[in-house]
Chains A and B, each alone.
Chain A
Amino acid sequence: MIKLKGIAASSGVGMGTALCLGREEFTVPKEKISHEDISREIYRLEEALIETRRQITTLQKKIAQDLGFDHAKIFEAHLLVLEDRVLIEDIIQQIKNKKVNVEYAFWQSIKKYIDALLKLDDDYLRERVVDIEDVSRRVLRKLLKKDVTNLGDLKEKMVVVAHDLSPTQTASLPKENVLAFVADVGGRTSHTAIIARSLRIPAVVGLEVATRNIKSGDRVIVDGSEGAVIVQPTEKVFKDYQRKSERFVKEMKAITIPKILKAKTQDKRKIIVSANIELPEELPLIEEYGAEGIGLYRTEYVFLGKRQLPDEEEQYRAYVNVAKKVAPSSVIIRTIDIGGDKFLSQPQVPKEMSPFLGWRAIRFCLAQPDIFKAQLRAILRASAEGEVKVMFPMISGLEELTEAKKILEECKRELRREGKKFNESISVGTMIEVPSAALIADALAKESHFFSIGTNDLIQYSLAVDRANEKVAYLYEPGHPAVLRLIASVVKDAHNNNIWVGMCGEMAGESLFAFLLLGLGLDELSMPPPSVPRVKELIRSVKYEDAKLIAEKAVRLSTAKDVERYLQDELRKILKDNFERLVMT
C-alpha cells in the first residue's frame, strides 16, 4: 500500500481499478506525395480543421451550460489556433513546396511554434502551449484516423490516471465510466479541476509521481476531499473508504428533509446551518442543499493562481456576485488567509521553518496594508448590495483585532469621502482558532459583533498536532476534552457579551459533534454543503434541553474516546432507528 498526497481538486471518494493514460505518442509518418496529390492533402487539412472546430464548439457549449459562459472561454485559444492564417499558410506551403503528406507538414509547423513558445520561459505562455498541443493532437488524430483515443478503453467504471489531462480530454471523457481523476500536474484552479468539479467527479491533481506509482489494473482509492490517493490499499483501508464513499454518495442524493425547513429542535431552539464556500461554481450548492447562507466564504481563491494580485474592482465583482446569489441570507467573508500552506505569486514570502506559526492570515494582512485595504474596500462596497459580514482570521490577541478594525474604519472614511455606498453597520467578526484567542474571548467579544470558531486550526494548535504528519495524525481528535472546554468557554464569553457565536470547521458537519455543539449553545454551524441536510435533520430530531445536559457532562470526561462513546450511546437512545442513518453513515 502506498499513500500519495496531492491537491484536492474535486471532492468525493472514487475507488476501483486504475486506467493509466500514457502520454499519447504519435508516430507521424513522412510520405512523399506527387504533384497531383497536393490538392487532396490540402482538402484533408481543411476537413480535419473543420471537424475539430465542430468538436470543440460542442464541448464549449456543454461547458457553458454546466459552468457558465466564462468557463467556456477556456477554449477560445483552441479555436483561434484552428483558424490561424500563419499556421495554415505554413502547412500549405510545406505540402506544396516539399511535397509531403499533410500529417507531416502539420506536425512540423506546430512543433516549430511550440518550440518558439517554450523558449520564452513564461508560465502564462506555457499554459497556452498546453492548449495548442491539445488542439493539435485533436487535428492529428483526425488526420491519422485515430479518432478512437485510448479513452475509448473506458468501457467499464475506472479511475483515470494521467500525467496531465487536457481540458478537452477531461470534458469529453465518458463521464458515467469515470470513478475519479488522478493527475501528476495541475492545481485547484486549473481548467481540469474546474471541469471535474462541474461533472462532480472526485479528483486529485498535482501528485507529481502518480503515473510512476500506479499501473493500469492497480486497485486505487482517490479521496478528492483530502487530496489523497492510496495505491493497492489493504482490505481494511479499502473497507473504511467504502463506508466513506457510501456516505458521500448518500449525502449527495438523499436529501431527506425539505430545503425550506429550518434547523429547529423539538423544543423550538433554532440554530443557523450554513455552508462553507470557496469557489464560484459551488454557489448553486447553497440552494441545492438548503443551507442558510454562507458561514465561511474563503477568499483565497480570488487571489491564488493569479499572476498579479486582483485589484479592488475584480474583488468587488467576486464578492457582489456571492452576496447577490445568497440573498436574502447572509455571507461571512473571511479576509485572506495566506501563508501556512497557501501563497501568493507576489509578494514573495521567504520559506519559514514553521509556516503555520509564521507570517500568515491577519499577520500578513496587517503588514501589507495595501493588499488588506483593497480587500476591505471591496468587501465594504459589496455590503451595499447584500447581507455581507466580514471576519478576521488567526487573531491571537486583542491588538491585532483593534488594528484590523482601525484599518476597516479608515477604508470606511475613504469610501464616504469618495461617495461610494456601503453598509455603515457591517458586522465584524473574529475567528477563534488560536488557543490564546479562545482564552481571552471575553476581551475580544467586546470588540466583535460575532465569533466563528475555526476548529481545524484550533485543534491543531491546542493539541500541537500537524494533521498532515502521518506519525502523529492519530492525536488530532476533535472530541478531545481540552478542545471542548475551550469551545464551551468561548460560547460562554460570547453570550455573556451578547454576541452570537458560530463554528466553521469540519467538526460542525459531523453529526456526533453537531449535537454536542448544539448542546454547548452554538448559534450557527457552517459546513460543507452536502452535510447540511443531514445536520438539519439531526437537529430537528432532538431536544435542546437533552443536548445541553449531555454536552455539560461530555466536557467533563477525560478522553476523546470517552466523549465519543458517551455521545454515541446517548444519541442512539434518542434517535433509535434513525441513529445509523444520521450519525454512523
Chain B
Amino acid sequence: MEKIAEEIIVNNRHGLHARPAAIFVQIANKFDSRVILEKDGEMVDGKSIIAILSLGINKGMGVRLIVEGSDAQTTFEELKEFLAKNDD
C-alpha cells in the first residue's frame, strides 16, 4: 500500500470553494485511494464536499494532501495538478 503526502499551495483562484471543491471531490472519487486534506492540523476526507468546504481553503493557502492506496501515485498527481493549477 502506497502512501504519499505533500504540502501544496492552492493556486486555483477561488481556493477550494463552490465549484472547485466539487471538481476536487469528483476527481478524488474516480480513484480507489483514500484522500485526506489537512489544514492547520485538521484532517478531513477529501472525497466529501461538505468536509472540504468546512476547511475554508482560499487561494494561496497551504494544505497537506495525503493519498493512500493501490492507485495512490495517479490519484496524487491528478489532485496535485488541480490544486496547484493557476487559472487566473
Chain A residues in the interface with B (C-beta under 8 A): 73, 76-77, 80-81, 84-87, 113, 116-117, 120, 122, 124-125, 127-128, 132, 307-308, 311
Contacts and interface: CB of A to CB of B under 8 A. Distances in A.
Contact of A85 (B13, B22, B48, B53): B48
A128 B53 CA distance: 9
A86 B53 CA distance: 12
Top 9 nearest A-B pairs by Cβ distance? Answer: A86-B48, A120-B56, A80-B49, A116-B54, A124-B17, A86-B51, A113-B50, A86-B45, A84-B48
15 contacts: A80-B25, A80-B26, A81-B50, A84-B49, A84-B50, A86-B51, A113-B54, A117-B54, A120-B54, A124-B17, A125-B18, A125-B53, A128-B18, A307-B14, A311-B88
Contacts of A132: 50
Interface size class of B (residues with CB under 8 A): 10 to 19
B56 A76 contact: no
Given A308-B13, A311-B88, A77 B22 contact: yes
A567 B36 CA distance: 74
Interface of B: 13-14, 17-19, 22, 25-26, 44-45, 47-51, 53-54, 56, 88
Contact of A77 (B45, B48, B49, B88): B49
A137 to B, nearest CB: 16
B42 to A, nearest CB: 11
B44 A122 contact: no
Contacts of B45: 85-86
Contacts of A120: 54, 56
A124 B18 contact: yes
A85 B26 CA distance: 13
A246 to B, nearest CB: 42
A125 B47 contact: no
A125 B53 CA distance: 7
A73 B19 contact: yes
A311 B87 CA distance: 10
Contacts of A128: 17-18, 53
Contacts of B88: 311
Contact of B50 (A76, A86, A122): A86
Nearest to B23: A76
Given A113-B50, A117-B54, 15 more contacts: A77-B18, A80-B22, A80-B26, A80-B49, A81-B50, A84-B50, A85-B45, A86-B44, A86-B45, A86-B51, A120-B54, A124-B18, A127-B18, A132-B50, A308-B13
A122 B13 contact: no
